[in-house]
Amino acid sequence: MSVGEILSTTKDKMRKAVEVTKSEFAGIRTGRASPALVERMKVDYYGTETPLQQLAGFSVPESRILVINVYDRQAVPAVEKAIRESDLGLNPSTDGSLIRLNFPPLTGERRQELVKIVRHKAEDGRVAVRNLRHTAKKKLENIEHDHEISQDELRRSEKELQTLTDKYVSEIDTLLSHKEEELLED
């Protein structure tokens, strides 16, 4: 594997780590209704764990109300159960195949708990990026050890790798600060 290939695959993996962190943040409620909070929720659909987005459509008629239109009426009880058992703390109200979720305003204490959760998820993302850097650095050192590249080239590629790492850690930090602002605003 060449230096370019190592750096390219590491860059792609780091980008994916940032995207995973971003999607984790989307699943944390902020007081506003958003389909992202429930669309990946797993529902026991005829014995199969199925993401809710495959079983229903979503709409947000008001900022604090999420309406879930379940395609299969038989699945409504399973969807309700999944919502009740989630960590969202919401109680669904059902009308046929429509499920309404009312999002009450977040308390100050709950906001602080959510900020801690978001910070933890951000740290997980940063750790993932750093682990990718570590793995790539080992690969670079191995090809230098096998005399496929010079020590100067190793140092240059390690600097480039550190630049990539800093860039993606910075992106995660930016996502974190935006999410914290979103959680703390009324």
DSSP character string of the chain: --HHHHHHHHHHHHHHHHHHHHHHHHTS--SS--GGGTTT-EEEETTEEEEGGGTEEEEEEETTEEEEEESSGGGHHHHHHHHHHSTT----EEETTEEEEE-PPPPHHHHHHHHHHHHHHHHHHHHHHHHHHHHHHHHHHHHHHTTSS-HHHHHHHHHHHHHHHHHHHHHHHHHHHHHHHHHH--
76 and 22 within one domain: no
pLDDT of the residue at 64: 84
pLDDT over 70 at 186, yes or no: no
89 and 40 within one domain: yes
pLDDT of the residue at 184: 84
Query: Which CATH number does the domain housing residue 127 bear?
Result: 1.10.132.20
Residue with the larger pLDDT of the pair 31 and 75 = 75
167 and 140 within one domain: yes
The whole-model pTM stands at 0.74
Pairing outcome for strands 65-70 and 98-102: antiparallel
119 and 60 within one domain: no
Give percent of the chain with pLDDT exceeding 90.
57
8 Å CB contact between 40 and 20: no
Residue with the larger pLDDT of the pair 186 and 50 = 50
User: Which of 81, 102, 123 is the endpoint of a domain?
Assistant: 102
Can you give the residue range of the structural domain that contains 14? 3-26+107-184
Q: Per-residue pLDDT averaged across 68-91, rounded?
A: 88
pLDDT of the residue at 39: 82
User: Which of 102, 126, 147 is the endpoint of a domain?
Assistant: 102
pLDDT of the residue at 106: 79
Altogether, the residues listed in the chain come to a count of 186
115 and 47 within one domain: no
User: Which of 71, 102, 133 is the endpoint of a domain?
Assistant: 102
pLDDT confidence tier of residue 132, bands split at 50, 70 and 90: very high
- Give the total number of structural domains in the chain: 2
22 and 59 within one domain: no
Query: Which CATH number does the domain housing residue 90 bear?
Result: 3.30.1360.40
Q: Per-residue pLDDT averaged across 53-57, rounded?
A: 91
